[in-house]
Chains A and B, each alone.
Chain A
Amino acid sequence: MSIRIYVPRETTASSLGAELVVEAIATEAKYRNLDVTIVRNGSRGACFLEPLVEVETANGRVGYGPVTSDDVHELFDAEFLTGGQHNLSLGNVSELPWFKNQERLTFARCGLIAATSVDDYKSLGGFVGLQNALQKSSADIVKEVLDSGLRGRGGAAFPTGIKWKTVMDAQPDGEHTQKYIVCNADEGDSGTFSDRMIMEGDPLSLVEGMLIAGIAVGATKGYIYLRSEYPLTQVILNEAIANAHKAGYLGANILGSGKAFDLEVRMGAGSYVCGEETSLLESLEGKRGEIRPKPPLPALKGLFGKPTVVNNVISLATIPVILEKGGKHYANFGRGRSLGTLPFQLGGNIKHGGLVEKAFGLTLRQLIEDFGGGTYSGNPLRAVQVGGPLGAYFPAELLDTPLDYEDFAKAGGMLGHGGVVVFDTSVNMARMARFSMEFCAAESCGKCTPCRIGSTRGMETIDRIVAAKSEHEREYQHIILKDLCETMESTSLCAMGGLTPMPVMSAVKHFKGDFQ
């Protein structure tokens, strides 16, 4: 019997040599005349263990990692095919505390299955949600999503069910109104990778989520707007879509239901701001990625002027489990108005980087210390930026803030897309604040004045603060910076200019001493 070996085909693992490992295993097995099947799964999320090689044994999936191609010969010698001991041995991977302590709903299958295999997907509950949805009315599907309490995982945290209901009810051209499902896969926030991981590890969950969304709101066409920096993801997504087509899950008549849905992957062109939904739509229409004013909401006048659901990858990939297990089940996780789970992404100066899916409510400290194991350098932690480049910088004193949308807002920050970037004592926070303005200046679409000009003036003002020759001059420049941030926050057209003041002012607030 052929032995199944799992080696991720995933961007992180690949960048750490997974492809070489695969080649080495295949060569070695052939040389040793051993019957092995190399399964290309996604990453299970423990980036610090990649490339993680797993072998299916009588005692479950036994892991070795991080493996380089140089280790392969030794692993064979150590009889890893039967779970033999080696200094890279991790034992049964699911039993590692890193995984065991997670609460995986969205990422339940990710890394366990051959990423694009419909059979593998179905073997772990895939397409059950779709089957359930096909039995329901549109309104009942939407109700299930409302009941789940799911909020937009792209960062804005708008209730997904309400968005869907708006699109479901929108019929400007009568009951045959063309509608669209657009998946925002322009994952540009620094320190985030959950979208990519699910698309590379369990792409069919996204396909299924979009399908269910289409059925719910009456859309027949979906687009995945994928950032250009994810070429491998594009290949995997297209494979998954083709497989879903072959199996009858996409096309003119889904599983004989008479309902139609088709999906297309469209590549972005390297713009951060195209992750904002309206400029994403502009870009998808072939135009310059520029923010549209709201109203009209994309839900009413979206892609090509038609009612459109624009959801983040994680929001959509979470839909199958909600429809599979029920909205109530999902709402059992989390607390308050932050229900369900969030796949946190640990990065920066951290010992154990990777993806941790947990119900809302654990503290930032638990995440960073218990899962992340503290800083990579071993130096004390000085600051954490949660929620991407527009998120606030928290000092160590705020580490006990619970990871919850409302609690974070109260503390002056935001959860955003769940990216957590850790800095140790070597960081200069004035430089980080300047970088926020710099990022805005580089990535602003250039449409609205406060963002277009303000970001550049922000950089210059911070430079003047740092270079100030007197305390008086420094304070004066601080006033200008504060006024500028107020203008940007209140008058910017979108969150890009509107939120850039958040990291800047949080740095000023918590680390003012660095500004000199």
Chain B
Amino acid sequence: MNSIVNTPILFDPQLATPEIDFGTPESTSTETVTLQIDGHEVTVPKGTSIMRAAKQLGITIPKLCATDKLEAFGSCRLCVVEIEGRRGTPASCTTPAEAGLKVTTQNGKLAKLRKGVMELYISDHPLDCLTCSANGDCELQDMAGATGLREVRYGYDGENHTKAKKDESNPYFTFEASKCIVCSRCVRACEEVQGTFALTIQGNGFRSKVSAGISETFLNSECVSCGACVQACPTATLNEKSVIELGTPDYAVETTCAYCGVGCTFNAEMKGNEVVRMVPAKSGKANQGHSCVKGRFAWSYATSKERMLSPMIRNAPTDPWRKVSWEEAVQYTAKRFLEIQAKYGRTSIGGITSSRTTNEEVWVVQKMIRTAFRNNNTDTCARVCHSPTGYGLKNTLGTSAGTQDFASVDETDLVLLIGANPTDAHPVFASRMKRRIREGAEIIVCDPRRIDLVDSPHVKASIHLPLRPGTNVALINAFAHTIVTEDLAAWDYINERCDTKAFAEWLEFIKDPKNAPEAVADLMGCDAGQIREAARRYARAPRASIYYGLGVTEHSQGSTMVIGMANLAMLTGNIGMNGAGVNPLRGQNNVQGSCDMGSFPHEFSGYRHVSDEETRKLFSDAWGVEQDPVPGYRIPNMFDAAIKGDYRGMFVQGEDIAQSDPNTHHVEAALNNLECLVVCDLFLNETAKFAHVFLPGTSFLEKDGTFTNAERRLGRVRPVMPPKTGKHEWEIPVEISKAMGYEMHYNNAAEIMEEIAALTPTFKRVSFDRLDNEGSMQWPITDAAPMGTPIMHIDGFVRGKGLFIKTEFVPTEERVTPKFPLILTTGRILSQYNVGAQTRRTMNNLWHDEDVLEIHADDAAERGIKDGDLVSIRSRKGETSLHAKISDRMQPGVIYTTFHTPSSGANVVTTDYSDWATNCPEYKVTAVQVALATSLSEWQKQYFDFNESRRKLEDMMK
């Protein structure tokens, strides 16, 4: 079993090309103008600045306040030019190119003026270039050189800011005010790119200075630490602490972020094999050079000391771990799996793929299960988040994926946001959405909480429907009912594109007065008039889009709701064009990909059912193992079967089921029943506490492969360092498989993608080569669409005719009663991610180190609860305790918490209820009672005891 890890696949630094800054944004005009700059003719789109036109010619006009990620500002005055026939010396950044202009960018007069401006800058700047953290990466330094400044005649004893105080409050970057040149790039980035408006220029004249909020520290201000300001800063003023410590990077490798489903492209800026900083790439089609606090800064978990780098085995979870060789670990795993199968049958083992690993890694895990395990017991953690999306969109439209690209939001006139909180969970996309809203698009928010997009600087939802958790379907039906009965439907579109018979049946159903806003308003806790108005606005907008998240899917009617949204979009003709569509916001980086890769128990890659003979034959032939026509276990079935004793061995990759899956008591009982639990992860997570084998996985910085984001975009993940574990993660299933008797043959990850493309029609034209050379693409990537498909269903639905499906509202069994009078719902916060395995190992804890219970003041007062009190949360399933936070975001009767910390025990309380179609758990609705607590819950005490005993085992290992 020779490892092939030594194959050199690391990025060649020589290939790195620095990004060119054109100074001002690209003009999208289709009209062009031709002008002369320094005697050279250049043709540019109308609206292009003279500065950008010059750069296109290769002429660099000195500049400091201009950068092509921000609108032209015109403050530094270095970029002055002369234009024949015009007075004065206009700034080239703010002067648009016009036909016939004759521009001079350099002559004696301009040189003198620029030197004069530069002299002023340097008269108020420290002269510590050699020891400055931006030395070698400073635009001010560059411009001093470019303008030929040799002397500052004002001297340095005049009034200045060189003694200004440094703000080091942010864990990731410093604000060194003494080096600030007040170009406002940070302020503008905060406004234009991020849309948070946390920064401003305070004071005026010489006293003008950048300020976070009103003289606050960066950490205490509204700053969300997205890094846009740091990236925009031309000097050392805003600089990464990692750069201050390590110095400037040598080269950059373009890769894809491993956090949420936005899938931002980053340049990992490197020194040798060490990451100096992660900088969002302008070329990234999903993020256009923007980032959030997680992707930009919170990557230190990847090299955390807590990472396990060696395989480990033990006989029982109560034994100490034993570090072993890869060889031994693999053989041990194979042996135990084979023994279990021999004893309990072929279907007694299975595995779970991860939404955090690459497509290629997911592929080999499900392949291992379908070949070496010889069954379909493969499921993915997408089960517990977006499985209803796949089901609902597949059945109505024909594809288990969102219909648009992110860029589509730039064209939308109205955003209908349901059960998603993008500013926290998908921040980079939220910034893009906010920009569109600032441009004039309307937003309607349907969410039990008053999320930021309801009301924040320069964003005001026209309508907020604070519906009670669990009533989504009543809402979507009321919308459709209003549109139908008020004759606002797109009848022609429906007749042309949809199954009219199914539509007619649906129409009868939806017209029923029981679906009227007035009939359901009380149940939802919303105003019927507002519901009607929201429906009208959605229907009347020229281009209306739906964006949704787990607030839609994680319900017992999750699939019904997804179908309802697809119905609504078809009803109004809002599918198949830019600016419209039904758009799931995926939680994790590769939720879409893990679903696409055939890791569901009933589907091969590309969503083809295992009962389909033709597909089965394709895979049986390709893999040389007869494929099973019977679907395998879903995750909840695995737990049930484990408790029953039918399921005894499990391979879990990159998902912490002990923390993330609902009804913790039940999950723990199942895990305790397993005879062989194999965990493949970066860390000894909660699940690993029950495991027999631990196989260390790789971080995204070591992976070679692809992630597929929420817009179906395949982005390359490139290794910037060799695997710290000595093995590529995709090799692990390959080797276990081999040890179990089935051999796979790949020399590298690219060959895995070759196999995926060969066996998956929607991936036909995908290859690493193409992605490397032509950039990221959105599937389907086929002969008909070789460059991918940004927007789906343009000329008609993938399934043929769009199918309206009736969406009867069946309330969840989980009801509030006098004993459990409140509804607990869950969500995320910006600084933490999912179960926190990554972010809790970073300094993001400074923003959020504890999950709290958000509760309305009335509910709190009724129970004598004050802000900060420890309270117990008791459901029919269990009890936990958290500190209370009285919040006006909440409505009475609904409480909220995040689930980023294991000891919070959010899932001790959640129930077994799940989506009727896909078993996606109903995380979002749990009936609970809340009361003042004097101590932690029993579960939490046990948790800490258990943790302590496991920790002792780990210590024994060392």
Contact = CB atoms under 8 A, between A and B. Distances in A.
Interface of A: 271, 273, 288, 290, 293-295, 440-457, 460-461, 480, 483-484, 486-487, 490-493
A455 B91 CA distance: 20
A288 B182 CA distance: 14
Given A288-B201, A490-B80, A450 B206 contact: no
A442 B204 CA distance: 7
A487 B120 contact: yes
Interface string B181-205: 1101000000000000000110111
Contacts of A295: 94-96
* 5 A-B pairs with least C-beta separation: A446-B208, A487-B116, A293-B74, A293-B94, A444-B205
A150 B76 CA distance: 35
Interface string B99-123: 0000000000000110011001101
A448 B76 CA distance: 6
B243 to A, nearest CB: 26
26 contacts: A288-B201, A293-B72, A293-B74, A293-B93, A442-B205, A443-B205, A444-B205, A445-B204, A445-B208, A446-B204, A446-B206, A448-B74, A449-B75, A452-B208, A453-B124, A453-B206, A454-B120, A460-B154, A461-B154, A480-B153, A486-B113, A487-B116, A487-B120, A492-B77, A493-B75, A493-B91
Contacts of B74: 293, 448, 493
Given A487-B116, A490-B80, 12 more contacts: A444-B205, A447-B201, A448-B74, A448-B75, A449-B117, A449-B120, A450-B77, A452-B206, A453-B120, A484-B116, A487-B117, A493-B74
B813 interface: no
A101 B93 CA distance: 51
Contacts of B72: 293
Interface residues of B, number: 37
B179 to A, nearest CB: 15
A440 B154 contact: no
By DSSP majority rule, is chain B's interface helix, strand, loop, or mixed? loop
Contacts of A487: 113, 116-117, 120
B462 to A, nearest CB: 18
Interface in B70-96: 72-77, 80, 88-89, 91, 93-96
Interface in B359-404: none
Contacts of B123: 453, 457
Contacts of A449: 75-77, 117, 120-121, 181
Contact of B206 (A273, A293, A444, A484): A444
B204 A491 contact: no
B77 A493 contact: yes
Nearest to A444: B205
Nearest to B89: A490
B159 interface: yes
B77 to A, nearest CB: 4
By DSSP majority rule, is chain A's interface helix, strand, loop, or mixed? helix
B158 interface: yes
Interface of B: 72-77, 80, 88-89, 91, 93-96, 112-113, 116-117, 120-121, 123-124, 153-154, 158-159, 181-182, 184, 200-201, 203-208
Contact of A480 (B96, B154, B159, B207): B154
Contacts of B158: 456-457, 460
A384 B204 CA distance: 29
A403 to B, nearest CB: 24
Contacts of B96: 295
A187 B561 CA distance: 60
A486 B108 CA distance: 14
Contact of A441 (B73, B76, B206): B206
Contact of B89 (A290, A455, A491): A491
B159 A455 contact: no
Nearest to A477: B153
Contacts of B88: 490
B438 to A, nearest CB: 11
Contacts of B93: 293
Contacts of A452: 182, 205-206, 208
B120 A450 contact: yes
B113 A490 contact: yes
Given A295-B94, A295-B95, A490-B88, A444 B204 contact: yes
Nearest to A479: B153
A273 B204 CA distance: 10
B119 to A, nearest CB: 8
A290 B177 CA distance: 21
Contact of B159 (A450, A456, A493): A456
A49 to B, nearest CB: 38
A14 to B, nearest CB: 30
Nearest to B120: A453
A296 B361 CA distance: 53
Contacts of B94: 293-295
Q: Which of B75, B112, B113, B159 has the most CB of A within 10 A?
A: B75
Contacts of B117: 449-450, 487, 491
Contacts of A440: 205
A454 B117 CA distance: 8
B123 to A, nearest CB: 6
Contacts of A456: 158-159, 205-206
Contacts of A480: 153-154
Given A446-B207, A491-B116, A293 B77 contact: no
A473 B418 CA distance: 72
A440 B205 CA distance: 7
A299 to B, nearest CB: 16
A293 B154 contact: no
A491 B113 contact: yes
Contact of A290 (B76, B113, B153, B201): B201
Nearest to A439: B205
Nearest to B158: A460
B164 to A, nearest CB: 15
A483 B200 CA distance: 32
Nearest to A485: B116
A444 B121 CA distance: 16
Nearest to B76: A449
Contacts of A290: 201
Contacts of B116: 450, 483-484, 486-487, 491
A457 B154 contact: yes
A457 B119 CA distance: 10
B184 A447 contact: yes
Nearest to A294: B94
Given A454-B120, A491-B80, A460 B208 contact: no
A295 B204 CA distance: 23
A473 to B, nearest CB: 12
Q: Which of A441, A483, A487 has the most CB of B within 10 A?
A: A487
Given A447-B184, A449-B120, A455 B205 contact: yes
A304 to B, nearest CB: 10
A486 B93 CA distance: 21
Nearest to B96: A295
Contacts of A454: 120
A172 to B, nearest CB: 13
